Amino acid sequence: MSVATEVINVRISAEQKAIIDSAAQLLGKSRTAFILDLAVRHAEDMLADKTHFELSTEQWETFTAMLDRPVRPNSALVRLLNTPAPWEK
């Protein structure tokens, strides 16, 4: 696990703080740990929704047929795939 070096500041109402504190206490966690655990879990779920999808049998067959087709030359795609990602520069 990486070292925490970043800070996030959030303004909330007294009622929201009380609810969060009560829930965190029930789990034996600090407010920060409680908020961070839930925020990261929710973010991961949201991102997973964007990377996992379901297809009907017909859609799956169409999709796999497209994947099985021979690849056509595409100079723009070759250029893109040979360009380093921003974090690799």
Angle at 21 between CA 16 and CA 24, to 5 degrees: 125
Q: Decide: pTM greater than 0.85.
A: no
pLDDT at 87: 84
Distance CA 54, CA 52 (A): 7
Of 11, 14, 1, 88, the C-alpha closest to 40 is 1
Tokens of 71: 């690849």
- Summarised one tens digit per residue, pLDDT across range 26-75 is 999 999 999 999 999 999 998 887 877 789 999 999 999 999 999 889 99
**How much is the pLDDT for 36?**
96
The full set of domain ranges for the chain reads 14-83
Q: From residue 34, how far is each of 2, 3, 10, 61, 67 by CA, in Å?
A: 18, 17, 14, 44, 43
How does pLDDT run across 1-34, given as a tens digit for each residue? 678 899 999 999 999 999 999 999 999 999 999 9
